[in-house]
Chains A and B, each alone.
Chain A
């Protein structure tokens, strides 16, 4: 584990979850594993944040959950993007790009 683990603001976590699910439906553990991997072990999502976020997104109608069977034949809850979730992901991504560009610009200029 790296010492440089980052704490994510909530809206960012939502964005990352949506992005992770864009490819295929995943269960909670797979989402956190995936984020762990693609962030080169920088991001470690605490379960205490992950599941509340998942259920929040579910309530907003951006993702939906269904019970399925995992690779090792266990019952697991899979989340997938809804149509609205996909639209939302695009909006979030462009918003993030704008925001990070602005934030970077400000930081560089000072």
Chain B
């Protein structure tokens, strides 16, 4: 019927008007009735009473009316939701606290579990991956008390093992081959590769995204190569026609002069392929030759074979293949040969840390639920009166239950939305923090990631769901509890009094919970404070050079180049770099900074000391060009740096670091002294000290300061040539990793294209390996420290906020329960400031107990951070004091809010129903 539909539509769309009309209509009725009673002679008061009584409850009438109006369930829901939102907006403090609590809890739980799930629980992305194993040998440590060393097999042993084993099938071998110089479209590049048996990709069930992977026969005709997706995109512009073409692969740095090999690209691997936690740029087939090459053997357990059987067999076979250990070696507590699950291997280091994270996450979730429960109980208690009034005026029990439930659900849903956002942000943050940008050779130093399988990590929707459900159930139960415990029989008492049945024990438990939270948060905050303090120390430590405005890069020369040609090329390149407008200085070094490389060539004998006298002194030697120390911003302390004129035929000169000068000359002035350098067997050269520079920390700011002597590479090459040293040795000691440094007047990254052009112009066969601003490398060298500092800080921050919310919730609840008491106090003349003090004191006591316990816990617990701290002790008083003060302030603020609420208690209102 049309009228029906129109009216229903009107009900739904113009709800406010319809409600208002209904209200007016009913009020009119009531007033008419009252008038009628008055005219019958009742007193006005009595008339009102009787009319109300007959009327049967305004809410009830409205409800019945609405039911008659046939308003749908959706409408009810919409109304409930609207009401719930209004209720929440009416108490923003509660709403923010509850949402923050739920959001942080759900978000943190989801983010951490998403990471842990991928790394610990998800199988490796290979078919049947739980049966993939690796065989290793435990080797006695070189010195007593050191940990066991682990060793793989040789290629020869691998071949024997493969044929003999009954418990393993499909064995493959894998070995890194280091860096190779490859001609790519935009110039030569250094690619890192691995050699692997031809059945590897079949075993792993990996199919090429383009072309093919290895097949039987490739181990004989080995001039084929498979590229990683990443290298293909980065260096070959994802050009599909590359498959089938031949690339020239030259040997990398420090290799002997071997001619380059032509290798045909047969395929491109899928994106994100990672094996044994290594992602190589290219893979070449491994020949089945019985060599001494160290390989990693990976195999699949044969059908029906257990891991234990494989271990037993490995110890029988391994003992037959390898000679027994010397009799005086420490007895082993583990089997000599081990067969380890591939997945265990990749997580064995991380498992304890990740377990701690899981425990922390569960603790966070429990704390969140407790806090939400507390907040809702406080709120529910405050609303008992309102709810019992609604009962009394006729709202049905089911109606109120639905209302309270909706409100809790709205809260949980909003919290879940906040949590989902925070969880996604958390996963993104962890992924970003755990990724280390390490170009080329720096990958060996920094690793490419702090966590394995990072690219597989996604927001875990299941976990999001579970934590949301836990939070929602908590909200509904504790939100509904105060309303549901009101039965019709005690409505009146509830209306009359704010007192609840909550006993002393219950409030003690609440207090204990808050103290526990404060304790945990304090411990975490102090741990985070220590790591942050340590990180600041690390970042500001004087490493002896200035990494700002420096562009660093490593070059690769074709290995067949003679030493003379290499030296000429270096000279030509430096000459060209120095003409670039924005380059202040340019220099070359055998190995750049932040590479974990050190070289000892000596000894050095200063005047007045004997060879025996100095043999124990260790001094690093670095071959550099003039301009290198200037470009790196190493402060000159005395004398001068190398100059253009210190060439091969000039008087031999050295520059010493501060600690080298002290080591050889004590308090005497080093500049001008002559030191005898035993640079090769039977060759001694007197070298004159021309300058002293600041000590450099080579690989990381945590390095010990080490004595170092710098030699001009032209002089060093000349000396070695005269002493008839082999070209290979000359290359290794003086030319090495071909590290360059340019100091620029503007952003060093802007110079990258210029450098590429110059290198290509000087010699297109020269490859660029890693090119990056030095400050960038320095930051990534600290990625691990930064990761742990940020992770712990975030965790501690979350714990701190939750604990503050806990204090807020408990005190708010207490204030509501004590409204009458406070009212009496105020009626008896208490000042607002005294009431404020009353509540603040309670908060202060809780906070002090919590922080004191936290400090004690931290004093015991921060010892585990010992190895991760730099420049401070685990009991660093500054961190302890700063954290307690700051956290104390936050907790005090959290108790100030309910205290302020207490001062606003109206004595009359509080006492009205007494």
Contacts and interface: CB of A to CB of B under 8 A. Distances in A.
Contacts of A27: 25, 28-29, 32
A9 interface: no
B24 A52 contact: no
Contacts of A58: 3, 7
Contact of B25 (A28, A46, A56): A28
Contacts of A52: 64-65, 67-69
A51 B4 contact: no
Contacts of B55: 47
A27 B31 CA distance: 13
Given A28-B29, A74-B31, A59 B3 contact: yes
B68 A55 contact: yes
B28 A75 contact: yes
Interface in B1-28: 1-4, 7-8, 21-22, 24-26, 28
Interface in B53-70: 54-57, 60-61, 64-65, 67-70
- The dominant DSSP class at the A interface is helix
B78 to A, nearest CB: 20
Interface string A63-79: 00000001010111100
Given A29-B28, A60-B1, A77-B21, A51 B65 contact: yes
B25 A77 contact: yes
Contacts of A77: 21, 24-25, 28
Given A33-B36, A56-B68, A51 B31 contact: no
A55 B19 CA distance: 13
Contacts of A30: 32
Given A51-B25, A58-B7, A60-B4, A29 B33 contact: yes
A55 to B, nearest CB: 5
B63 to A, nearest CB: 9
Contacts of B60: 48
A18 to B, nearest CB: 16
A53 interface: yes
Contacts of B4: 59-61
A89 to B, nearest CB: 17
A53 B68 contact: yes
Contacts of B137: none
A13 B57 CA distance: 20
A71 B498 CA distance: 45
Most chain B beta carbons < 10 A, residue from A28, A47, A55:
A47
A13 to B, nearest CB: 12
Nearest to A29: B32
Contact of B69 (A33, A46, A47, A59): A59
Given A27-B28, A53-B68, A70-B28, A59 B56 contact: no
B35 interface: yes
Given A55-B65, A59-B3, A59-B69, A48 B56 contact: yes
Given A29-B33, A47-B55, A59-B3, A74 B68 contact: no
A55 B69 contact: yes
A29 B1 CA distance: 28
A44 to B, nearest CB: 8
A75 B32 CA distance: 11
A48 B24 contact: no
Given A52-B68, A55-B69, A75-B28, A47 B21 contact: no
Interface string A23-48: 00001111011000000000000111
B849 to A, nearest CB: 56
The contact size tier of chain A is 20 to 34
A71 B35 CA distance: 12
A32 B35 CA distance: 15
Between B3, B24, B26, B36, the greatest number of chain A beta carbons within 10 A of the residue's beta carbon is seen for B3
A51 B25 CA distance: 9
Contacts of A28: 25, 28-29
Interface string B873-905: 000000000000000000000000000000000
Nearest to B6: A59
A86 to B, nearest CB: 16
A103 B139 CA distance: 105
A59 to B, nearest CB: 5
Contacts of B69: 52, 55, 59
A88 B24 CA distance: 29
A22 B24 CA distance: 24
A57 B76 CA distance: 22
A48 B26 CA distance: 10
A104 B264 CA distance: 107
A70 B33 CA distance: 13
A4 B760 CA distance: 111
A29 B29 contact: yes
Contacts of B26: 47, 51
Contacts of B32: 27, 29-30, 70
Given A29-B28, A75-B24, A47 B3 contact: no
A63 to B, nearest CB: 10
Interface in B101-124: none
Contacts of A51: 22, 25-26, 29, 61, 64-65, 68
A61 B3 contact: yes
A20 to B, nearest CB: 15
A108 B661 CA distance: 131
Nearest to A57: B68
A102 B54 CA distance: 35
A32 B8 CA distance: 25
A47 B68 CA distance: 13
Nearest to A74: B28
Contact of B70 (A29, A33, A59, A76): A59
A77 B29 CA distance: 10
A103 to B, nearest CB: 27
Nearest to A51: B65
A109 to B, nearest CB: 38
B661 to A, nearest CB: 101
A25 to B, nearest CB: 14
Nearest to B35: A72
A46 B4 CA distance: 24
Contacts of B29: 27-29, 32, 47, 51
Contacts of B65: 51-52, 55
A46 B55 CA distance: 7
Contacts of A56: 68
A47 B28 contact: no
B55 to A, nearest CB: 5
Nearest to B28: A76
Interface string B558-600: 0000000000000000000000000000000000000000000
Contacts of B1: 59-61
A51 B7 CA distance: 15
A51 B67 CA distance: 11
Contacts of A70: 28, 32
Contacts of A47: 26, 29, 54-56, 61
A61 B64 CA distance: 20
Contacts of A53: 68
Nearest to B36: A33
A109 B849 CA distance: 87
B912 to A, nearest CB: 30
A70 B2 CA distance: 30
B8 A59 contact: yes
A77 B1 CA distance: 23
A62 to B, nearest CB: 9
A74 B33 CA distance: 13
Interface of B: 1-4, 7-8, 21-22, 24-26, 28-29, 31-33, 35-36, 54-57, 60-61, 64-65, 67-70
Given A27-B28, A29-B28, 10 more contacts: A46-B54, A48-B61, A51-B26, A52-B64, A52-B69, A58-B7, A59-B4, A72-B35, A74-B28, A77-B21
9 contacts: A28-B28, A29-B32, A32-B29, A33-B36, A51-B61, A52-B64, A52-B69, A59-B1, A59-B69
Q: Across chains A and B, which 6 residue pairs bring their CB atoms closest together, nearest first?
A: A52-B68, A29-B32, A61-B3, A29-B29, A77-B25, A48-B61
